[in-house]
């Protein structure tokens, strides 16, 4: 499956994206698949292809289109609080709007983010049109959950979360803080025997496979 390559203007820059489409005719539910710190790797592309085979229109943006430093370093040192008004988050809101407006999208949206982009999923989950937000061990926020209490109160649907039991980047205290804020709206899964990077460093483990199966089941339930 070869992706369709596009470039979308978002705010002050243009981001390269790859679209992966299911076989047959749409429209389909759509998923914004956000890469982690390592960028738009072959592993992320493999997940995009899998999602497309499952019947989802997938947008996989290259957030490092104009270099890793501008995006990653600015985020790490300037946005550790996962600010709702951050420039990077604004770009992702625009990408979601573009994805939703596609004639191939039926209006139902899911989002996956991990590590560097996991906290963005929590912010995007505040949108009424995001029905299936999935976070893999978010790296945002040096304290607390990655959301303020008022922001968390704006999340009305279920957020699915996948976390590693041995993960200093996303420790159990962060998971517990998020669970306290979201209550029953957080469908949290913590996996023993693995660390940070369930879909990269620990991709070929049974824990990663279990997390991915749960992600697909969540999408089937929420995006049907």
Q: What is the pLDDT of residues 145-161, one digit of tens each?
A: 788 899 999 999 999 99
- Domains of the chain, by residue range, sit at 4-222
Check residue 109 and give left, alpha or beta (phi > 0: left; psi -120 to 50: alpha): beta
Q: How confident is the model at residue 134 (pLDDT cuts 50, 70, 90)?
A: very high
Whole-number percent of the chain with pLDDT over 90:
67
CB atoms near residue 169 (< 10 Å) = 16
Strand order in the sheet with 186-191: 4-10, 13-20, 57-61, 28-33, 105-115, 130-138, 159-164, 186-191
Mean pLDDT, all residues of the chain: 89
Q: How confident is the model at residue 140 (pLDDT cuts 50, 70, 90)?
A: low
pLDDT tops 70 at residue 73: no
Cα separation of 81 and 147, whole Å?
8
> Tokens standing for 60?
């996989």
User: CB neighbours of 198 closer than 8 A, spacing ≥ 6?
Assistant: 114, 136, 137, 162, 164, 191, 207, 208, 211
pLDDT of 166 reads: 87
Q: How confident is the model at residue 62 (pLDDT cuts 50, 70, 90)?
A: very high
pLDDT tops 70 at residue 13: yes
Cα separation of 50 and 216, whole Å?
10
Q: Is domain 4-222 annotated with CATH 3.40.140.10?
A: no
């Amino acid at each position: 499956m070869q992706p369709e390559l596009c470039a979308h203007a978002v705010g002050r820059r243009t981001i390269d994206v790859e679209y992966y489409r299911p076989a047959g005719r749409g429209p389909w539910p759509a998923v914004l698949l956000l890469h982690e710190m390592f960028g738009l790797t072959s592993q992320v592309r493999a997940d995009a292809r899998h999602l497309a085979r499952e019947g989802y229109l997938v947008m996989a943006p290259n957030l490092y289109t104009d270099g890793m430093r501008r995006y990653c370093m600015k985020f790490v040192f300037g946005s550790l609080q996962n600010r709702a008004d951050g420039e990077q988050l604004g770009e992702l809101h625009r990408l979601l709007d573009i994805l939703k407006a596609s004639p191939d999208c039926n209006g139902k949206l899911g989002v996956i983010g991990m590590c560097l982009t996991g906290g963005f999923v929590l912010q995007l989950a505040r949108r009424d049109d995001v029905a299936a937000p999935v976070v893999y061990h978010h790296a945002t926020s040096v304290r607390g959950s990655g959301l303020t209490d008022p922001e968390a109160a704006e999340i009305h649907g279920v957020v699915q979360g996948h976390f590693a039991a041995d993960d200093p980047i996303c420790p159990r205290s962060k998971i517990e803080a998020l669970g306290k804020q979201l209550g029953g709206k957080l469908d949290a899964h913590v996996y023993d025997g693995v660390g940070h990077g369930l879909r990269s460093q620990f991709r070929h483990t049974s824990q990663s496979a279990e997390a991915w199966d749960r992600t697909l089941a969540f999408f089937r339930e929420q995006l049907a």
